[in-house]
Structure 1
Amino acid sequence: MTKSDKIRYFGSQNYEKLQKICVKKKQPFVDTLFPPTNQSLFLEQGRSSDIVWKRPAELHPDPHLFVEGASPNDVTQVIPNADDQEWSPKHAYAGIFRFRFWRFGKWVEVVIDDLLPTRDGKLLFARSKTPNEFWSALLEKAFAKLYGCYENLVGGHLSDALQDVSGGVAETLHDPTDNDLKLFNDLKTAFDKGALIVAAIAARTKEEIEESLDCGLVKGHAYAVSAVCTIDVSNPTQRSLTSYLLGSKQKQNLIRLQNPWGEKEWNGAWSDDSSEWQNVSDSQLSAMGVERGNSDNNDGDFWMPWESFVQYFTDISLCQLFNTSVFSFTKSYDEQIVFSEWTTNGKKSGAPDDRAGGCLNFQATFCNNPQYIFDIPSPNCSVMFALTQNDPSEGLKKREPFVTIGMHVMKVENNRQYRVHQAMHPIATSDYASGRSVYLHLQSLPRGRYLLVPTTFAPKEQALFMLRIYSDEHIHFSPLTKHAPKLGLFGCKSAHSVTRLTIHGVNFNSQSTGTHHVYAILKDSNKSFRTKSLSGVKSIEWEEEFLFHKSKDRQQYKLEIWEDRKMARDHLMAQSVIIALIDNENRDTTLELTDPRGTIIGTVSITVSAFDDPMYL
């Protein structure tokens, strides 16, 4: 978090002010907004329990935020000034702690007291494997306050929690397949880049939560992924005869997980005491941090084979953290952030100001949604879109359901500057989910202009949303708000028509020899537009489109074919004239290309789509 990031104080509670009051009065803080009563535990107000709220010093004579495992550096954003909040003779104890969570583009500071729910002298919920370490229990209490009560944490989305603590781009993968090596490689790449990864076995009912399986894993429990690797296994009995004779080694994909409670572990293949470790070299064990013959079955850390991991775990939540610093020795990304909303503006569905058109299933209203154009500068450009809706239930016990959201991307004309009124050229569609966030990752797109449409699933659903764009090259990204241009010298005329010209490609005559490196320039009376440069011997295919709004029923355009000479001045090879009549048709045509001397050297194939409604395309 940078100094420029604004902090929002949950419940208008200011940590510094409250701490000073408590120190002055010599009384530990008791949070009246989230009191140590059943009100903060359960959804039902009158529910009884035998739970006792105790402060850490009542549970251990030497309490600390951190003892082992996590450190203040690991949670800098979530626990601000962690050293100053630590139990220490240097700081006056006030029984007050603060945590920060990322919410809708801002960090929200949540203040809590340190009264924790216990039963029989033991913490009831989250706890560290070290009995005098309390950061996890306090963090959980801050989460519970943010979500209204502890009970609301049950059945929550892991991806939301990861996003809350990091501000990253989070997604959840459900039911991975048994032999999905692509997923393994993707997770390894993400982990190596610093992504946060958590896995869980879904509990179908509340009764299944914390149910232990015979393999040692626990349902409804979040396991942090702490390593992803591939090792060589040298035992010939585990290899095929061919690989043994050739001297090759068998590869084993492994994943290491951590149970923060440190009580139960995986007991199958590659667990702490399994025989498989005898087949691994000492050098590999050292690199993995494994000590041969020195395992602790209850430390919460364990390895398991990838095939077993995908067999048991049903949900994998991954949160990517994008480096956006321009002063970095590692790969950095360009970040752009947009805030907007789906709204009907009090209008009926389909009205010009309606911005809640639903997904592509509702073609009559789909194009009413917010629209954003972006340009891909090169085929190597990778773009990640993260769509997040605002949580209207922050701090409330009663959770309002999220609307179902998603995104759609289409290819549009190279020069489009006005809203799309008919869906065209689909490129990609994200999953639609009734959660806080969805994401869409685009790679290897051809150079050109594209349109992103964030949508709710159904029309007329209203919500605030935030759109984050991460790209490894800077891309032009902007909203489309106007339907058509105003024409004339002073912008006082309305466009009467819209024309789309599609340049498919050129074919050169048989006399033409050698490889041509060419591009096309399309000109109207005001502007000119260029295609990309392509190479070919007898033919070139562009498949590029351009859009024009005009006030006349008969339009003329000039098409020029240029040779791209790279190191010398480009050469005009040929040209043709395109006549567009506003006839509300799509017309394919082939035109002759003549060189500057008037000789026909080939043809160009185009499609003219001209309509008398400027808001038709």
Structure 2
Amino acid sequence: MEEVPLNGRTAVFTLFFLSAQVMVDVKLDRSKPSLAPSHYRDSSSSGAPGPFCIPFWSGPSRGGAPWIRWVCALLFKCRPLSVCIFHQLGFPPPAGNMASDGAAAPLGSIDNPVKFQNQDFDALLQECLKDKKLFADPTFPAEQKSIGMPKDPNPAKEIKWKRPKEISADALFVEDTIGTTDICQGQLGDCWLLAALSALTVHSKLFATVVPSNQSLSDSYAGIFHFRFWQYGEWVEVVVDDRLPVREGRLLFSYSRTRNEFWSALVEKAYAKLVGSYGSLKGGNISEGMEDFTGGIAYSLPVTSRTPPVLWRILTAALSRGSLLSCFIQAKSYSEVGKVTADGLVKGHAYAITDTDKVARGSEEVLLLKLRNPWGFVEFCGSWSDKCKEWEDTEQSEKQRLKLKLEEDGEFWISPGDFSTMFNVVELCSVSPDSLEDGDASTSQSTWTISEHKGSWLPGSSAGGSRKYNKSFWKNPQFELVLREQDQEDDDEEEEEDDNDGDEDKVDKGDEVLKEKNKGGTQKQKAKHCTVLVELLQKNRRQNDKINFLYIAFHVYKVTPEVQGACLDRSFFMKNRPVGRSGSYRAQRGVWRKLRLDPGHYVIIGSTYQPNQPGEFFIRIFSKTRNTLGVQDFTCSSDYIPVMAAPVLPEDQTKVEKTFDEKAGPDDRLNAQEIMKLINSVFDKSCHLPLETCRQIIFGEDTEGRSTLSREQAEAVLADLRALQSIFVQFDEDSSGSISPFELSLALEAAGMKCDSKVVQLLSERFVGGEPHLSFRGFVSCISRLRKLFALFESETSPEVKDRGINSWLLQFLVL
């Protein structure tokens, strides 16, 4: 792709793992008109269809053994993360699926989304039209398993699956225009998703990204639709049929207030397919939906952190920048969730913020916020609500300008003062980090560069837990961040929360709202900083009717020159404190923090609170100046042979001589069974080796194709095993006959084999196999396999193999 000049100075991000970069040119404008009727061909108005495309962002296939999928990703690099240039809030360019230089758009971009479950919408549509049949999706069948909840035993409440025209004779995909009242919550606890969808309808360009135009229940109708969602660095296109769950003649889940419009129900179905089932949508954070509809950054703002007028200005500016806004009232207990207050508001329930405005009332100018309850009913009944007297004293022209509808549709106006008194948290989501700052829409254009990475926490290998577990914390994935030039001058640091809250990390059980720093504190001296925003998301935790979020956080450490470019060990983290962090560990999909750091070298550590908790994650780093992203490969090495060369003990030599004299055949060699007995007669029971391990040891020797060992080889094997036993005991701190898998890399290094994190992770998966501890036989098997692979690589003469390097070689053959 042709390079696009970026504003600002240079900063450099270097990750230890495969990454990609996305350049974001933020050009913000307020876009509030509804979509034109011509975008959807079955609308009541005529017109030529516009371009249409919907992406979903999804992780890799969830089938197969995790470690095999992980290895394949390392071997074949899967596909690079999206490398796209998003202009004007990330909206797709007008010209089809081509990049600006005429090349095909990168896979996973808005214009070339990943096809979820390999379903090609265009091909399936043409096939159905050719065969004159309606599409029936085999990957999300019209069955109870797609509902994802227990079946109701009452026959009268049996769920039937019907297409829109079987539900309503005048069914439309979209009727006239898109609006917030198109979305009403059904019998599913997904207000978080529908509130985000309501907020999306305010921004026509963003909406057209998720809900492609040119879809209809009349023209070229084949019962098939497609939508796009952002999922962890990629846009993914999800295909669904239009069979919807119906109970007693009415849609069971999301529906439109007009009852004959079906786009919102189909979006909900597509998202349910993405996460596994409708049941998987029950309960969630609004930010999840907003991020998946935009690919943007979502964060929480405590309502009480700003005065009502200032809060109104912030929300007005955010809407102008194209942000999605929502809010909720925190429930103090589970029993309070869904409770309607005396003012007509619902606790623990998500509302969309869809507009702000000023109303003239005599000589007074009143600030107002417009909210939407995704239920489609139950509204605020205080000042400026549909039932109040304030509207009676308002000029008719003002009411017409606002298109005021005094009816029970879930939509209402509220003053900033009442809003600040009754609501607790505002959720904001924007494609650009600029929208996360206070201010108005007139702020100058700036450019952000995004670096992204997908990784995993593996038990016993890279799932080291929080700093509380200092023996394993350093095993968590480490990302090196190099900041070279300043970009920002600040005199307050409102984003840096609780960075000095003690040595031990905390867990936020859900009763904490972001604490706002006291603005009245001591004025800091103005200084230049590098602006960085880090977001850590955990992947695929919403599956099979369960939400199983881990407590996650990240920490940022400044690295001294003497250890720059190296994987930091336990001693570094014992001596140094983080200079930035995401805050308390939280059981939610994502955590983020904007940091302003001095130029220098840093390491970012993403972790779960408890060690050995498996999970996949996605991390992205925004820089306010241009950066270049490099992969700092660590080359594996082996000094095993010289390090391990040691004379055989006299007693071992005597045992070998006696065994060979008694057991060896005419060729004076012993087979695997006999070698096993020899080894186990020398070592304690805790270090006994099984037959398969002994075969691996023999395979590692130069036996000229035979599966036996000579006297000299048997003596060398015993000497090696003695040395390995000494190393193993060194790391067996509790004398249990096993070591922690987290110590595997140090034990290998003590044996003369230095391996990078990817190789160590694979070794852990292969030889620990999910067990909490590594046995001596597993350690021996690991060493034997590595020793042979290092030797084979050294003897390899192919230039292509040598160019690929030892790391690629090890990853390829350790799988076998």
Structure-2-length-normalised TM-score? 0.49
Cα distance in 2 between the residues matched to 1:200 and 1:109: 30
Cα distance in 2 between the residues matched to 1:334 and 1:377: 14
Deviation sequence 1:361-402 (CA, Å, 0-9, x none): 333433333132231622504322111222166xx5254723
Could you say what secondary structure the match of 2:322 adopts? Answer: coil
- Matched with 1:418 is 566
Gaps of 5+ in 1: 236-248, 347-353, 486-617
- Matched with 2:473 is 366
Could you say what secondary structure the match of 2:166 adopts? Answer: helix
Displacement of 1:177: 6.6
Contact 1:39 1:45 survives alignment (8 Å): no
Could you say what secondary structure the match of 1:64 adopts? Answer: coil
Displacement of 1:332: 3.0
Deviation sequence 1:333-376 (CA, Å, 0-9, x none): 222212333346x5xxxxxxx53332233334333331322316
Contact 1:374 1:477 survives alignment (8 Å): no
Q: What is the identity percentage for the equivalent residue pairs of Structure 1 and Structure 2?
A: 32
Equivalent AA in structure 1 for residue 129 of structure 2: V
- Matched with 1:454 is 606
- Matched with 2:217 is 87
Displacement of 1:57: 1.3
1:141 aligns with 2:269: yes
The number of residue pairs the alignment matches comes to: 450
Cα distance in 2 between the residues matched to 1:96 and 1:208: 40
1:52 aligns with 2:160: yes
Equivalent residue in structure 2 for 1:126, among 250, 254, 259: 254
Contact 1:177 1:310 survives alignment (8 Å): no
Contact 2:281 2:545 survives alignment (8 Å): no
- How do 1:305-344 residues align onto structure 2 when only pairs under 5 Å count? 305-322=415-432, 330-343=445-458
1:76 aligns with 2:183: no
Q: 1:178 to 1:38 in 2, by over 3 A?
A: farther
Contact 1:374 1:476 survives alignment (8 Å): no
1:303 aligns with 2:413: yes
- How do 1:191-230 residues align onto structure 2 when only pairs under 5 Å count? 191-201=319-329, 212-219=340-347, 221-228=349-356
1:108 aligns with 2:236: yes
Could you say what secondary structure the match of 2:137 adopts? Answer: coil
Deviation sequence 1:414-436 (CA, Å, 0-9, x none): 78333444243533221322232
Cα distance in 1 between the residues matched to 2:149 and 2:423: 29
Gaps of 5+ in 2: 1-91, 98-104, 180-200, 435-442, 489-529, 638-816
Displacement of 1:453: 2.0
Q: 1:140 to 1:58 in 2, by over 3 A?
A: same
Choose between structure 1 and 2: higher helix proportion: 2
Equivalent residue in structure 1 for 2:556, among 403, 409, 423: 409
Moved more, 473-482 or 429-438: 473-482
Equivalent AA in structure 2 for residue 69 of structure 1: I
Q: 1:123 to 1:233 in 2, by over 3 A?
A: same
Q: 1:392 to 1:214 in 2, by over 3 A?
A: closer
Deviation sequence 1:71-115 (CA, Å, 0-9, x none): 7744222223x21x2233xx3221111122222222222222212
- Matched with 1:578 is none
Displacement of 1:299: 4.1
Bigger relative contact order (CA 8 A; separation at least 6): 2
- Matched with 2:733 is none
Contact 2:232 2:618 survives alignment (8 Å): yes
- How do 1:225-374 residues align onto structure 2 when only pairs under 5 Å count? 225-228=353-356, 254-260=368-374, 262-277=376-391, 285=398, 289-290=401-402, 295-322=405-432, 330-343=445-458, 354-369=461-476, 370-374=478-482
Equivalent residue in structure 1 for 2:594, among 441, 448, 461: 441
1:9 aligns with 2:115: yes
Contact 2:279 2:545 survives alignment (8 Å): no
Contact 1:371 1:479 survives alignment (8 Å): no
Deviation sequence 1:237-278 (CA, Å, 0-9, x none): xxxxxxxxxxxx7x8653211235543322211213534457
Cα distance in 1 between the residues matched to 2:168 and 2:121: 25
Equivalent AA in structure 2 for residue 338 of structure 1: H
Cα distance in 1 between the residues matched to 2:539 and 2:432: 21
Contact 2:311 2:416 survives alignment (8 Å): no
Could you say what secondary structure the match of 2:626 adopts? Answer: coil
Could you say what secondary structure the match of 2:586 adopts? Answer: coil
Contact 2:303 2:311 survives alignment (8 Å): no
